[in-house]
Structure 1
Amino acid sequence: MRAMTIGLLVLAVSGCSGVLTNNASGGQGDGKSVTVYAVSGPEVTDPILAEFKRKFPDIKVNKIALPGTGEAFARVRAEKDRPLGDVLWGGSSELYTANADLIAPAELPNDAATAFKDPGHVWHAVDVLFQAIAVNTDTFPDAAKHPASFEDLVKPGWAGGKIAFATPKSSGTSYSLLTTMVTLHDWAYVKKFAANARLLDGSTAMFTMVKDGEVGTSFINEDLGAKWVAAGAKIKMIYPSDGVSGQIGSAGLIKGAKNAEAAKTFVDFLMSKEAQTIMVSQVQRRSSRTDVPAPAGLPAVETLKKAEVDEHWAAGSKDKILADFDAAVKAAS
């Protein structure tokens, strides 16, 4: 993941929608409806959709919920010659980059306010999610020995014991963590890490085992960790000093979409201050904007050292990366 600062051209905007009129890519819809393929659950989408309806009562949103980003892109690819959707909402930026042939690039006004920007304007940042090291302070009480970095997790005599870690084959969170480990260090590091890891089938187990004290250390998505800390769980979140793993939650305009202008209005709204304030206050997820503070209990984006993972490599070489991880695990056992 990498932060990019780019200048946006000042272009004419259309009507009250506040979206740019250049880069039109689809047919001529009626401008009164938009079909959204949504990857995130209703706890994320519904509060934001309610605000969109209030602000744009003349545009009907047809939301189609899909179980994952892979399924969403597969559907869009199957419909490539005759798109039935207008917007993809959800999933990390590297998957949009990997499937850029399905997305219509567009410069939107609210892109300028986001902390992360795609220079090709394929993906648009709608939330940001980081992963932290999680320590159970009952199981692992000595704060002086808590890991401060990825590198600490493989030091000889490390006091934390086995680290709960979901296999990256089944966990998107762990896949992001794995590509971060390789980027910051190398595959030799991964072999050392695997020797300290307790491999699990999914993210849920990785998260709950540290909360319940079954292990001293794991990783956790920061929004869930903050909720558990606020609820009284004995968890401490530590953002690695050598680089923080993270995902840029994104949205994109489906190439050839019939309702292209309504789609631009919708995606631009997702990045608006109104929508991003809801993202923080109701969804309790970190905003993509620089002018919307992080949810309570989370540090400001600017205070974190973000790992700059090559998204083309992470998305395009996934099979090889997973095979190399399996080899590292086998070598460590």
Structure 2
Amino acid sequence: MRYATTLGAGLLTLALTGCAGVLTNNATAGQSGDDNTVTLYAVSGPEVTDPILGAFKSKHPGIKVNRIGLPGTGEAFARVRAEKDRPLGDVIWGGSSELYTANADLIAPVELPNDAATVAKDPDHIWHATDLLFQAIAVNTDKFPDAAGHPKTFADLAEPGYAGGKVGFATPKSSGTSYSLLTTMVTLHDWDYVDRFVKNARMLDGSTAMFNMVKDGEVGTSFINEDLGAKWIDAGAKIKLIYPEDGVSGQIGSAGVIKGAKHEAAAKTFVDFLMSKEAQQIMVDEVQRRSSRGDVPAPKGLPPVEQLKRADVDEKWAAEKKDEILAEFDDAVKSAG
């Protein structure tokens, strides 16, 4: 059965306006009796979290943050679910908003002061926006030098005999980036588009391969998270970023207070700080990701968010129907093979 989206019906409200972490042994997580301690389950790596944790330490020296790094949002929520009856963590930070919506029973609904300043808001106050991350089409300009033939839309990538050759694409089972791209494809063009796209796709095991293969010229075209693409271009990589004119895929990076957290007050302080102008300026200047706030401009080399035509993906559908969507994608790949 084919699953379609309901455009404009998502939970997302998008309004466009103008090394301090302390590593803790997993076994001792959350066992401190100190109310001024936050046990943080961090999905993003230290290159994202450490600059902001350093600023938090300076701003709130009385609150100790125990950072526990986890390899992915799925693993983080699996841990929180396993600890549901006796929560050991206080905050989960990282990953896209639809996964927080899908696991809303594990997150405390809390309204925080800085929520009002973010351009993406959860009306149920489960997730709190910490950054915005869009995906662009990446073209290797050595491998695919004819600018006139570069794709302008998702639709271009599904044309028979696509001039750029195979399009690198990570399996969405292992790549959150590709899952966002897949739900965007279905939203914009439905499943018949996916059936055509996978015939032009070179399927890869993960996002890293998808990013690196276009940078290294092993494929002419792929997808990339815009922040990484911009960094590589600054470093001299022969790639070009193209934001699809028919709709741009994106993720709302999020954080949440774990339901039943032992240190709830400190957890709220921490999550609210992540959305503060101070922390968001660090997100732009040092992490080089877009701020979730409307009053902090985009990093150098990235277009203002107002210039992007963002695909209106139904977040509830993407979260609740993930297994069915992945199964349908697998069927498309098998049929194309």
Q: Which amino acid aligns with 2:243?
A: Y
Matched, 1:182 2:186: yes
Match of 2:152 among 131, 148, 170: 148
Q: Percent identity?
A: 78
Match of 1:200 among 186, 204, 215: 204
Distance 1:112 1:163 in 2: 40
Distance 1:292 1:49 in 2: 19
Q: Which residue of 2 aligns with 1:114?
A: 118
Post-superposition Cα deviations, 1:81-117, rounded to whole Å, max 9, x if no partner, equal 2212111111110010011011111111111111100
Q: Which residue of 2 aligns with 1:331?
A: 335
Distance 1:5 1:235, change over 3 A: closer
Match of 1:136 among 131, 136, 140: 140
Distance 1:79 1:156 in 2: 49
Q: Give ranges in structure 2 of 5+ residues lacking alignment.
A: 1-9, 16-32
Match of 2:53 among 41, 49, 52: 49
The offset of 1:330, in angstroms, is 2.0
Match of 1:84 among 85, 88, 92: 88
Distance 1:192 1:47 in 2: 43
8 Å contact kept, 2:44–2:93? yes
Matched, 1:320 2:329: no
- SS in structure 1 opposite 2:48? helix
Equivalenced residue count is 311
Distance 1:231 1:331 in 2: 40
Q: Which amino acid aligns with 1:4?
A: T
Q: Which amino acid aligns with 1:168?
A: P
The offset of 1:156, in angstroms, is 3.6
Q: Which amino acid aligns with 2:181?
A: L
The offset of 1:41, in angstroms, is 0.8
Q: Which amino acid aligns with 2:180?
A: S
Matched, 1:224 2:228: yes
Matched, 1:214 2:223: no
Match of 1:248 among 234, 249, 252: 252
Match of 2:13 among 4, 10, 26: 4
Q: Which amino acid aligns with 1:222?
A: E
Please tell me the root mean square deviation across aligned C-alpha atoms, in Å: 1.5
Distance 2:207 2:265 in 1: 38
Match of 1:272 among 276, 295, 309: 276
Distance 2:61 2:187 in 1: 46
Distance 1:79 1:202 in 2: 28
The offset of 1:160, in angstroms, is 1.2
- SS in structure 2 opposite 1:306? coil
